[in-house]
Chains A and B, each alone.
Chain A
Amino acid sequence: MPFNRRHLLGLEELAADEIQTILDTADTFKEISERPIKKVPALRGKTIANLFYEPSTRTRISFELAEKRLSADTVSFSKAGSSVSKGESLRDTVENIRAMKVDMVVMRHSSSGSHRYLANFLDASVINAGDGQHEHPTQGLLDMMTLRRHWGTLEGKHVTIIGDIMHSRVARSNIWGLTKMGAAVTVCGPSTMMPAEVEKLGDGGVRVEYDIRAAIAEADAINILRIQLERQKARLFPSMREYFEVFGVTPQVLEAAPAHCIVMHPGPMNRGVEIGQDVADGERAVILEQVTNGVAVRMAVLFLVAGGSFDAGAPEQP
Chain B
Amino acid sequence: MIDWKDKREFWIAGAKIADPESERLRVGSVCVQRGTITDIVWQKSVETDLPVLDAERFVLAPGFIDIHAHLREPGYEEKETIETGSAAAAVGGYTSLVCMANTNPVIDDPSVVEYIACRAQQVGRCRIHVAGAVTKGLLGEIINEYYHLKRAGVVALSDDGSYVANSQVMRSALEYARLHALPVISHCEDSFLAQASQMNEGYTSTRLGLKGSPAAAEEIAVSRDLMLAQLTGGRLHVAHVSTAGAVDLIRRAKKKGVRVTAEATPHHLTLDDRLLESYDTSLKVNPPLRSVKDIDALRAGLLDGTIDCIATDHAPHNEIDKDVEFDEAPFGMIGLETAFAQLHTHLVSKGVVELLDLIRFMTLNPASVLGLPGGRIKKDEPADLVLIDTEEEWTLQKKLIRSRSKNTPLIGASFTGRVQGVFLEGKWQSALTADEKQGMKT
Contacts and interface: CB of A to CB of B under 8 A. Distances in A.
A196 B209 contact: no
Contact of A133 (B203, B210, B214, B278): B210
B207 to A, nearest CB: 7
Nearest to A166: B206
B86 interface: no
Given A197-B203, A233-B196, A234-B195, A172 B326 contact: no
Given A12-B207, A113-B279, A196 B325 contact: no
B206 A196 contact: yes
A113 B326 contact: yes
Nearest to B276: A113
Nearest to B205: A196
Contacts, number: 64
A134 B208 contact: yes
B202 A169 contact: no
Contact of A200 (B203, B211, B278): B203
Nearest to A169: B209
B323 A112 contact: no
B201 A196 contact: yes
Contact of B202 (A90, A116, A196, A233): A196
Contacts of A186: none
B203 A196 contact: yes
A112 B206 contact: no
Contacts of A195: 205-206
B327 interface: yes
Nearest to B279: A113
Contacts of A234: 195
B290 to A, nearest CB: 13
A114 B203 CA distance: 20
> Which residue, of B195, B206, B209, B214, has the highest number of chain A Cβ atoms within 10 A?
B209
B325 A109 contact: yes
Contacts of B326: 111-114, 117
A153 interface: no
B206 A132 contact: no
A90 B327 CA distance: 12
Contacts of B209: 112-113, 131-135, 169, 172
Interface in A177-200: 195-198, 200
Nearest to A91: B323
B196 A116 contact: no
Contacts of A133: 209-211
A7 to B, nearest CB: 14
A97 interface: no
Contacts of A112: 208-210, 279, 326-327
Contacts of A90: 324-325
B222 to A, nearest CB: 20
A192 to B, nearest CB: 13
A109 B326 CA distance: 12
**Closest CB pairs A-B (n = 8):** A134-B209, A113-B279, A133-B209, A111-B325, A195-B206, A112-B209, A197-B203, A113-B326
8 contacts: A111-B327, A112-B327, A113-B208, A113-B209, A134-B209, A197-B206, A200-B203, A234-B195
Interface of A: 12, 89-91, 109, 111-114, 116-117, 131-135, 169, 172, 195-198, 200-201, 233-234
Given A113-B209, A117-B279, A132-B210, 7 more contacts: A111-B328, A112-B208, A112-B327, A113-B325, A114-B326, A195-B205, A196-B206
